[in-house]
Structure formats: C-alpha cells, structure tokens
C-alpha cells in the first residue's frame, strides 16, 4: 500500500471523514471523526434510507466496518480493524488518564480523599482491609498502584518526601555494610550519605559512576547497595545503569536509581536492571509546587515486603491529602514534561546569550539529547531530553548590581 493510501504511514493521526451522500445533506457537514465506530454510525444513517428505497433496483450495500472505511477513505485496501490493540503497550499518558479506582464502592471517576486516621472494623474478631492510616489508606494505595504501573514495578510506596524514601532504603543495610554512590549527586542525598548513614555504621564509598572501571573496583563483598543518578544532579552526567546493574548483581548488591529528573515519562530504570527507583514526587510527578512526596518503585516481592515494613514501622507514609493532591497533579505529567522539553531549549540559549553579553556571568549549560542507538544514553532515554545545568560565577558586588535581572531571568527559565 502506498503512503497516500495509508494515513498511518505519513505519521499523522488516523482519521476517518464522513463522505457526503445525495440522501443526507447533514452528512456533508459532518466533522472529522476519530473513531471508526462513530464513522460507521454516521455512514449508516446516511446510506440506510437510500438503500431501503432502492432495495428493489440496486443490490444491497455492504455496511461492514471495513467496507465503509474503505469507501470513506477512497482506498483500494480497507484498514484492518481486527488488530489486537491489547498487545500494544499503553503510553504513560494513556495510563495516567485511564487509571481507575479499585476500591470505591460508588464508582467515582476521581479518586476520593479518605482523610481519616482510623477505620471501623467489621467486628471485634474480624479485621477490615484498613485499620490505621499509617499502615495503609485507600487514597495512598491508588497512588502507589499507579506508580507501580508507570515504573513497571511489583510494588510502589509513597513517602513524606524524597529524602524519607531514600532514608528508608539505607535502613535495609546493617552496620559494617557498604554503599557505593556517585560523587555527583543531589545535595540532600549527599548529606544523608556523608553525615547520617555513617552514624549507623554504614560505610559509604564515593566514585565517578560514569567510569565502569571505578565502579568495578569499588564494589566488594560488603557492598549491599549501589546508589545511582542518571543524569546526575547537578552536572547532568549519564551513567550506564544496565552495565552497573550487572556488576552489582554479580556481587549480590542492590541497585537504587534516583529517577527524579527524568520521571517515568522519559526513563524506566527497572527495565535496565535497577532494583529500586526513587522519585522526588515534589517535582515533575506532582507538578504544582504544593506538596512534598517521595516514591519508591520496587522490583521483587521479597524486597517490596521489606520496604513496606520500613514504611509502616517508621511512620513515613504519605498523608492521604498529599496523595490526593499528587493524584490530581500526576494526570498532566506527560503533557508537562514533554512541553518543558520543547520550551526549555530556546530559553536556555537566550538566557546564555543575554547573561554572557550584558552581565558578565558564566552560564554552563548541560544540554543533553539522545545519542546514537549504540550508546547506553540512548538505552536509558526513550525520548529527546533537555535539561539545563546553570553555574553562576560572579562576585558579591555583581550580585547586588544584577540581582533583579538574574531573578527575573531564572524565574522565566524555571517556570517554563
């Protein structure tokens, strides 16, 4: 079939248009319809009266879906409506907009807010599915189920912040065991590993995770966790998650990946071999700057059971209202992330040119795109990706002189 006869081959949405018929003037005004079934209904309304009136003089028309679609498109070969659409993996945007409640008895389309600390039990000898919100809450369970589906995890857990989620992961280790982590990581993670974890007797090794040789040398028999960011924060370095996961698993260590920057829209580290994926849901997932939340997506039932125990024992589960806010914001995550990638690049270049020409500031921009398919960068990122790393180098006097301009420029950049 030629490209002209196959609209899908042109990379455009597959649309069926109603064809004007002499018996129905209204059908000539019919808009472009996206659904083949709706198109079939419109066509049947248009042709049925004529077919009945002329049934004695003309042969019966074929009103099957394929025949009507073929006539509407003017194609010699009709589209195949027998394709098993269930075999196609749904996109992140589809999951976000179609995910349904599994607990609401009244069929609410929007997840209800169960703002309660305790739940009434059926009887003194029978326990219901929920008893105390610290241990579980229906609103939280919907968000956790959604995140597990997005990250293709066995289970997901919502915490009061990203740091609370990461702290729970460090509690999987015992005194004397080791964590191998990147030297370029988020400041809060750096503080946790350098000042808090050692108090519990955990040894932390810091390396350049972009160099496989350093990773291989650092991992030993006492290493129980490899802590990765890809891209790293703030220098935006890309790590070969798949290769490092193979090395870590060979030595019996778990792999944690902080996926906050990429979000589930752009990367799925569990598919590359990671055991735990962490998100600061405060950022791209919630998207409205009105809540703090952290999420762990976990692979494996045994590991999921350990994280569930820690979440309950430490009382770090996300409150119902914050879960409800996050569920509201996450619906537009795919649209927001994709739009940010489109808008960020021109703003970054403009900011760079203005700052270097008129303000004497040094902006270091980390602009990352898909590399050729043979590289691990392409393996991790499913879509083109742009992120800006800004390094401001100037004196106190320059800050005072240009503070207002800098603030306006950064606000325009970050809000885009």
Catalytic pick among 17, 61, 149, 283: 283
Asked if residues 241 and 277 have their Cβ atoms less than 8 Å apart, the reply is no
258 is catalytic: yes
Cis ω for the linkage preceding 318 (within 30 of 0):
no
User: Among 287, 326, 329, 303, which residue's Cα sits nearest to residue 249?
Assistant: 303
Q: How confident is the model at residue 343 (pLDDT cuts 50, 70, 90)?
A: confident
Question: What's the pLDDT at 163?
Answer: 98
290 and 387 belong to one structural domain: no
Rounded Cα–Cα distance for residues 190 and 234 (Å): 12
283 is catalytic: yes
User: Among 255, 231, 275, 258, which residue's Cα sits nearest to residue 163?
Assistant: 258
62 is catalytic: no
384 and 290 belong to one structural domain: no
164 and 301 belong to one structural domain: yes
328 is catalytic: no
Q: Does a structural domain hold residue 80?
A: no
**pLDDT per position as a tens digit, 177-206:** 999 999 999 999 999 999 999 999 999 999
User: Among 335, 346, 257, 326, which residue's Cα sits nearest to residue 297?
Assistant: 257
Give the number of other CB atoms < 10 A from CB of residue 11: 7
Asked if residues 249 and 255 have their Cβ atoms less than 8 Å apart, the reply is yes
326 and 338 belong to one structural domain: no
235 φ, ψ (degrees, to nearest 5):
-85, -5
Number of domains in the chain: 3
19 and 158 belong to one structural domain: no
Q: Does a structural domain hold residue 177?
A: yes
Which of 300, 330, 360 is the C-terminal boundary of a domain?
330
User: Among 356, 370, 311, 327, which residue's Cα sits nearest to residue 136?
Assistant: 311
345 and 317 belong to one structural domain: no
Asked if residues 219 and 180 have their Cβ atoms less than 8 Å apart, the reply is yes
Rounded Cα–Cα distance for residues 51 and 57 (Å): 10
Q: What is the DSSP-derived secondary structure letter of residue 290? A: S
117 and 185 belong to one structural domain: yes
Mean pLDDT of all residues belonging to the chain: 76
Place of tokens 């996109």: 91
Catalytic pick among 141, 184, 240, 258: 258
Rounded Cα–Cα distance for residues 5 and 26 (Å): 26
Paired tokens of 39: 């198109």
**pLDDT per position as a tens digit, 200-256:** 999 999 999 999 999 999 999 999 999 999 988 888 888 999 999 999 999 999 999
The residue length of the chain stands at 416
Per-residue buried b or exposed e for 152-188, using 16+ beta carbons within 10 Å of the residue's own CB: ebebbbbbbbbbbbbbbbbbbbeeebbbbbbebbbee
Q: How confident is the model at residue 351 (pLDDT cuts 50, 70, 90)?
A: low
Q: Does a structural domain hold residue 82?
A: no
Q: What does the CA dihedral 393, 397, 401, 402 come to, rounded to 10 degrees?
A: 10
Q: What is the pTM of this model?
A: 0.69
Q: How confident is the model at residue 97 (pLDDT cuts 50, 70, 90)?
A: confident
101 and 216 belong to one structural domain: yes
Catalytic pick among 114, 130, 186, 385: 186
380 and 242 belong to one structural domain: no
Asked if residues 202 and 157 have their Cβ atoms less than 8 Å apart, the reply is no
Paired tokens of 178: 């080791």
Residue 303: give the domain boundaries: 92-330
Q: Does a structural domain hold residue 274?
A: yes
306 and 360 belong to one structural domain: no
Catalytic pick among 17, 61, 104, 134: 134
342 and 367 belong to one structural domain: yes
Q: Which contacts of 201-206 are long-range, i.e. CB under 8 A and separated by 24 or more positions?
A: 201/174, 201/175, 201/176, 202/170, 202/173, 202/175, 202/176, 202/177, 202/178, 203/176, 203/177, 203/178, 203/179, 204/178, 204/179, 205/178, 205/179, 205/180, 205/181, 206/181, 206/182
Q: How confident is the model at residue 335 (pLDDT cuts 50, 70, 90)?
A: very high
Q: How confident is the model at residue 89 (pLDDT cuts 50, 70, 90)?
A: confident
Q: Does a structural domain hold residue 21?
A: yes
CATH number, domain with residue 157? 3.40.640.10
139 and 38 belong to one structural domain: no
């Amino acid at each position: 079939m030629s490209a002209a006869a196959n609209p899908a081959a042109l990379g455009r949405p597959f649309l069926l248009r109603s064809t004007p018929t002499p018996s129905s003037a209204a059908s000539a005004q019919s808009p472009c319809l996206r659904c083949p079934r709706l198109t079939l209904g419109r066509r049947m309304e248009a042709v049925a009266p004529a077919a009945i009136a002329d049934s004695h003089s003309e042969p019966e028309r074929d009103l099957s879906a394929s025949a009507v679609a073929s006539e509407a498109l003017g194609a010699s070969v009709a589209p195949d409506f027998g394709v098993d659409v269930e075999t196609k993996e749904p996109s992140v945007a589809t999951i976000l907009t179609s995910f349904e409640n599994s607990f609401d008895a009244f069929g609410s389309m929007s997840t209800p807010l169960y703002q309660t600390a305790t739940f009434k039990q059926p009887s003194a000898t029978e326990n219901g599915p929920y008893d105390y919100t610290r241990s579980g809450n229906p609103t939280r369970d919907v968000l956790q189920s959604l995140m597990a589906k997005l990250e293709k995890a066995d289970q997901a857990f919502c915490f009061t912040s990203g740091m609370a989620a990461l702290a729970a992961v460090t509690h999987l280790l015992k005194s004397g065991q080791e964590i191998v982590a990147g030297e370029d990581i988020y400041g809060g993670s750096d503080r946790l590993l350098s000042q808090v974890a050692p108090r519990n007797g955990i040894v932390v090794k810091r390396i350049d995770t972009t160099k496989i040789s350093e990773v291989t040398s650092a991992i030993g028999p006492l290493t129980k966790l490899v802590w990765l960011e890809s891209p790293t924060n703030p220098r935006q370095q890309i790590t070969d998650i798949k290769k490092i996961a193979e090395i870590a698993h060979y030595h019996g260590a778990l792999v944690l990946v902080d996926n906050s920057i990429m979000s589930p829209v752009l990367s799925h580290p569990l598919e590359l071999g990671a055991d735990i994926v962490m998100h600061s849901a405060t950022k791209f997932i919630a998207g409205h700057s009105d809540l703090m939340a952290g999420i762990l997506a976990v692979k494996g039932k045994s590991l999921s059971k350990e994280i569930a125990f820690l979440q309950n024992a430490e009382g770090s589960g996300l409150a119902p209202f914050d879960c409800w806010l996050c569920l509201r914001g996450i619906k537009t995550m795919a649209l927001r992330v994709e739009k940010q990638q489109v808008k960020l690049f021109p703003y970054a270049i403009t900011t760079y040119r203005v700052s270097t020409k008129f303000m004497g500031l040094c902006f270091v921009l980390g602009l990352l795109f898909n590399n050729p398919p043979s590289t691990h960068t392409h393996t991790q990122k499913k879509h083109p990706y742009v992120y800006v790393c800004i390094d401001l180098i100037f004196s106190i006097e320059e800050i005072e002189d240009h503070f207002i301009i800098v603030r306006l420029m950064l606000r325009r950049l970050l809000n885009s």
